[in-house]
Amino acid sequence: MPRISLTPPDSLLTRLGAWYSRRTYGKVLDPGLAYGHHARVLSTYVGLERRAAKWNALDSGLKHLAVMAAAALINCSWCVDFGYWEGRKLGLSREKIEGVPRWREAPEVFTGLELLVMEYAEAVTETGPTVTDELAADLIARLGEPAFVELTAMVALENWRSRVNSAFGLTSQGFAEDCRIPGGR
């Protein structure tokens, strides 16, 4: 049960957000409804998300795996659920998406670079961060500095998302189920 009402004050901003959300995702996103109680926070958050969506120094699949690893470590069920939908939209395999929360148990599902990216995402997410010089240097050598900066910023952004959604008490909205094809993968 959410800790905050998902019925924000009616305003042009919340109506516009609900319209965009329905059009883009097929439903109004609960985080948007929660943020709708504070117009400036909602506006700032949406602006950040829109700008971050334009970053392109890091491969989108690697970026997604990093985001999912951070969300899983924080245990944000809303973020993991939505991440499943996003991963399928990106064309990632169901096996890979479902394997992120347990990536250490099934390393054969992922490439060496994907494993390194998820290790880094978790290291950044730990309270306090446990990033080592060796891990950072390895990623910089493989990705380059612009992609490394983007990776770090995306993990930090997912920490914001996951921690806020968890604090609000938001849980799955059924995105993972919406992706499933009966009897298929």
Q: What is the pLDDT of residues 94-107, one digit of tens each?
A: 999 999 999 999 99
Both structure tokens of 149: 């900066």
Residues 6+ apart with CB under 8 A from 16: none
Q: Residue 150 pLDDT > 90, yes or no?
A: yes
Give domain limits for the chain: 12-54, 60-168
Would you identify the CATH topology of the domain 60-168? AhpD-like (1.20.1290)
Q: Which residue has the tokens 């968890």?
A: 166
pLDDT the model gives residue 179: 59
Residues 6+ apart with CB under 8 A from 162: 70, 71, 74, 76, 79
- pTM, to two decimals: 0.92
